[in-house]
Structure 1
């Protein structure tokens, strides 16, 4: 019996050792795959960032280095399938000139490309990379927006979810009164049109002569602003007054990212 037990003990130790070796190899394999996946993801993000930066420069716009994030884990399975959940492109300190010479500034232009389809051949520069939808958002500070209108004394702010414009009306050389009005926002042919109504003139007694002065002042407050050409064929879709500034929402569909510079 002693000989039988003595012959089994080394086998059990060898069995345990083999399992440890297999488990160790599996851990190294998993870690290697994860590292490769993250490296490939980072490489692709850097390539896209460089191409977007080139496109921004070609449009005579400016921004800090683009920050690109390809959503979805693992990344390599998306490469093999040729489908990507979402690609986020952030353009910090974005600046662009309109067709009429005004400079539009945004602290951040946040672009999201969703439902992106790209065959393996596209990674070698052959084939299309198409996003089903692309959206972008950016906020313009009210002071910067007022400066872009060219109206020196115009003040813009958000109140109760609406854009409000205000200024000072000089009735005589010694009499000045504040005037404020709610803005009506409209987007037409790539231009933002701002007109004012619901006028408030606290402290001012209005008569027909004064009313004509107020009406003329409010008409002068109105302005239009060109929207500069944006990356990825984005066009303006919506405007939303927020406490920190006027939020612009842009959009496009079925965008060929390769043709657009990505």
Structure 2
């Protein structure tokens, strides 16, 4: 009988040990996850400070950047000195351009395959280099209208195109001019607006009136003086959206921090 009772206890004791090991393993995994995120937070704050300095060095102004380090586990990336992805959110980005402030309420930067040795993050000495960087920002229509400097002129998006509405005096009549523009980007990243399709209800049907309207179209067709974007970003695409002109820019093999 004694032997039967002893044999009956062994499975329960084995289950207890197994449960204890599972609990310890879960606790260990939890501690590692917490340590991973704590380390990521430290790196994010350090990179954010250096990014702020880099933006300031380029003569731009922006709120403190929001930096997030992607990829898991983070600690292995720290040891390797390479990060899958670092995202940087800049808000209220402004740069002085010919006396006018061109505003980008948002500039979201996505840096991939980033080389950031631990001693660089810790000391701030050296460069954090991304193989590819893509930035997406928005130029407000109010900023563009201020550059055009025409009384009553408003800009917006209509059917995916940049649209204009403005009061214009033509041959003694105040007419409302409406139309759209072509938005072009050069190989060097220069953004230009070309207003070719303007009309005005009640426009006198005489050549002089049409010439005056064409002259107005030419006067508001400009190269947009964007501020120099951080991280050597070059504009590649511009799309009119309801909230403004969405600007997409990219760069390769560039530092995203201010090297000490």
Q: What TM-score, normalized to structure 1?
A: 0.87
Which is worse superposed, 115-124 or 190-199? 115-124
Query: Contact 1:117–1:131 at 8 Å: present in 2 too?
Result: yes
Query: Contact 1:89–1:110 at 8 Å: present in 2 too?
Result: yes
**How far did 1:227 drift?**
1.7
**How far did 1:57 drift?**
2.5
- Residue 201 of structure 1: aligned partner: 200
CA distance, structure 2, for counterparts of residue 28 and residue 195 of structure 1:
63
Deviation per CA, 1:63-83: give whole Å up to 9, x if none: 222111112222123233443
CA distance, structure 2, for counterparts of residue 127 and residue 198 of structure 1:
52
- Indicate yes or no: 2:45 matched with 1:63: no
SS of 1:65 mapped into structure 2: coil
SS of 2:33 mapped into structure 1: helix
**How far did 1:162 drift?**
1.2
Deviation per CA, 1:25-83: give whole Å up to 9, x if none: 21221111111111111111111111112222233322222111112222123233443
Query: Contact 2:151–2:167 at 8 Å: present in 1 too?
Result: no
Unaligned segments of structure 1, at least 5 residues: none
Deviation per CA, 1:98-120: give whole Å up to 9, x if none: 2x122111221111001223445
- Residue 179 of structure 2: aligned partner: 181
Tell me how large the CA RMSD over aligned residues is: 2.4
**Pairing 1:74-223 to 2, within 5 Å after superposition:** 74-98=73-97, 100-125=98-123, 128-173=127-172, 175-188=173-186, 189=188, 191-223=190-222
CA distance, structure 1, for counterparts of residue 135 and residue 51 of structure 2:
14
- Residue 20 of structure 1: aligned partner: 19
- Residue 246 of structure 1: aligned partner: 245
Query: Contact 1:122–1:128 at 8 Å: present in 2 too?
Result: yes
Which is worse superposed, 221-230 or 4-13? 4-13
Unaligned segments of structure 2, at least 5 residues: none
Query: Contact 1:190–1:226 at 8 Å: present in 2 too?
Result: no
CA distance, structure 2, for counterparts of residue 134 and residue 60 of structure 1:
20
**How far did 1:218 drift?**
1.6
**How far did 1:219 drift?**
1.7
- Residue 41 of structure 1: aligned partner: 40
Query: Contact 1:107–1:138 at 8 Å: present in 2 too?
Result: yes
**How far did 1:190 drift?**
5.0
